[in-house]
Amino acid sequence: MTDCEDLIKDFALIHDGDRILKTGVWSDLKKDFSGKVTDMGDVTIVPGLINSHIHLELSHLKDKTVEGQGFTSWVKSLLSNPLYELEEKAICCALQFMLENGTVFCADISTRNCAQIASIMDNSGIGFYAFCEAIGLHTPSAKSKFFPNKKFRNGHTAGAGHSLYSTSPELLQAVKNADNDAGMPFSIHLAENVEEDEIIAHGTGEFAAMLKRAGMLADCGNKGLTPVEYADSITLLDETTLAIHCVKISEKDIQILADRKVNVCLCPRSNKYIGEGRAPWEKIISSGINTCLGTDSIASNYDLNMWNELEYLLKNIEKPISGHKALSLVTSNSAKALKIDELYGSLEEGKKAVFATVPAHLEDLLF
């Protein structure tokens, strides 16, 4: 499948080790081809998968956090672990696992080790964004830099905001502006849970008190708004924004996200793991919002396999979607959201010669 829409039998892809030179039916293409041939066997080839939200710096935390007890308990258990040392081996293993399972690009969020993780990703061969995450209550100066301006073979650095409640509106806006200037997307966790809802609307709740005690609660409204309404009021929402989670959103919020052409990244299994319910997938997808999927970190998931993320969504969605629509959540929609569709998201001439094969057990579910 070149674009996850039409199934091409006897499909062949000719590449030069980096880019796609030609695609088509092998019985035609082979007449003029004399290079090395790899027969993939009886499989369905699709564009390489894109993981639109992950935190590789937490790769050493598999099974180290509580499951199903809500966000406040999850954060407490996360913070009880060693978080500040970068465990390179765990990150390399995570990247290897993702590559072996069809993921060819990831959008990584890092709070402390952005440049180092970018180098590790670059060496692994995966395509990437290394988002340096801004968190804190300060107002940045005009000279502040939010991400290193360093060139990599397979990716870029960019800026992300942690969340509305942990990061000052001035800092979030400055990071977004820096991304705009650099032509990069802006990523932010948005409307992830009921705690965030309460903080943005009223500034109250156990999680708000915990943040306040730690001196980490941003002045984030307290005007009865929803997180989406508040994010909109501080001009964070537009077509270069990738809003992660969007679990607690109303129909009005969905309309705002659609009107602003915001891209939404759902993390279904992470939301389940933490125990905060799930996003209104059906309404988000049918609203026309450009929607994609991410695993989030291994500290809030069972594995980093994008096929498993998609399978979970397809098995639990109430309004079934077509195989084409399902695959676009992990390929073309993600490429569009991350502004990498010149190179990723479909198998076309000139794009990266990276593809995935559909696991046999998912063939029936997708086609």
Q: In angstroms, give the least distance from the CB of 16 to Zn ion.
A: 36
Q: Give Cβ neighbours of residue 141 (< 8 Å, ≥ 6 apart).
A: none
Q: In angstroms, give the least distance from the CB of 143 to Zn ion.
A: 28
Nearer to Zn ion, 276 or 296 (CB): 296
Q: In angstroms, give the least distance from the CB of 236 to Zn ion.
A: 16
Are 199 and 212 a contacting pair, CB within 8 Å?
no
Nearer to Zn ion, 253 or 296 (CB): 296
Q: Please give the residue whose beta carbon sits closest to Zn ion in the complex.
A: 296
Nearer to Zn ion, 57 or 296 (CB): 296
Q: Which stretch binds Zn ion (CB under 5 A): 10-18, 210-218, 288-296, 314-322?
A: 288-296
Number of residues this chain uses to bind Zn ion (CB under 5 A):
1
Q: Give Cβ neighbours of residue 364 (< 8 Å, ≥ 6 apart).
A: none
Structure tokens at 176: 């977004």
Q: Which stretch binds Zn ion (CB under 5 A): 15-23, 76-84, 87-95, 289-297?
A: 289-297
- Phi and psi of 360, rounded to 5°? -55, -40
210-236 b/e (C-beta count within 10 Å ≥ 16 → b): bbeeeeebbebbeeebbbbbbbbebeb
Tell me: does residue 196 bind Zn ion (CB under 5 A).
Answer: no
Q: In angstroms, give the least distance from the CB of 116 to Zn ion.
A: 19
Q: In angstroms, give the least distance from the CB of 160 to Zn ion.
A: 9
Structure tokens at 125: 């061969």
Nearer to Zn ion, 108 or 296 (CB): 296
Nearer to Zn ion, 245 or 351 (CB): 245
Nearer to Zn ion, 122 or 296 (CB): 296
Residues from 290 through 319 that contact Zn ion (CB under 5 A): 296
Structure tokens at 38: 């790899």
Q: In angstroms, give the least distance from the CB of 307 to Zn ion.
A: 20
Q: In angstroms, give the least distance from the CB of 62 to Zn ion.
A: 16
Residues from 62 through 91 that contact Zn ion (CB under 5 A): none
Structure tokens at 211: 């943040």
Nearer to Zn ion, 196 or 296 (CB): 296
- Spell out the alpha helix ranges (H) of the chain: 26-29, 71-79, 88-100, 114-124, 169-182, 194-202, 206-213, 227-233, 251-259, 268-274, 281-286, 306-316, 323-328, 332-337, 363-366
Nearer to Zn ion, 2 or 305 (CB): 305
Closest C-alpha among 184, 137, 181, 127 to residue 163: 137
156 CA to centre of own chain: 15
Structure tokens at 120: 């590790």
Distance CA 261, CA 243 (A): 11
Mask for 120-159, x = binds Zn ion (CB under 5 A)? ----------------------------------------
Q: In angstroms, give the least distance from the CB of 263 to Zn ion.
A: 15
Q: Which positions touch Zn ion (CB under 5 A)?
A: 296
